[in-house]
Amino acid sequence: MHMRRIASALAATAIAAGGMVASTGTAEALTSCYASSCNHLNPYKTTCTGDAIHPYSAADSKGSVVYLYYSPSCRATWAETWNAPYNTYIEVQRDGGSLYSEDWATYGAHTWTGMINDAGYTSYATICPPSGGSCGFTSSY
């Protein structure tokens, strides 16, 4: 009888642990996209912002700054800017130019691009002022 209780307890523990593993799973299961499935998605409509870092930033000749963001769990990058003048251009691009996402600052204080797959690649962010001046480029990450 005692052995049956121990076996039942172990089975219940295994089921509970199995449920926990199923609910946490791998990096792909924790995010709403992963690598190429993130291409051009809004990072704020995914879970990718939860672990995002911004390893690099750059300024254009007018002083507006772009930040390159990277999510390790999503394996994706994107560019963001705050308080840039209307029509400031920002872009995130994979090194080699094979994939990019872009946006222009509008009336909001916060502008971002869609994400691009960064699994096995490096990418950088660009910011260009709306009328004349030089663009700024982050280092690649």
Give pLDDT tens digits along the chain (141 positions).
333 333 333 333 333 333 333 333 444 444 589 999 999 999 999 999 999 999 999 999 999 999 999 999 999 999 999 999 999 999 999 999 889 999 998 877 899 999 999 999 999 999 999 988 999 999 999
**pTM for this model (two decimals):** 0.76
CA distance 14 to 19: 8
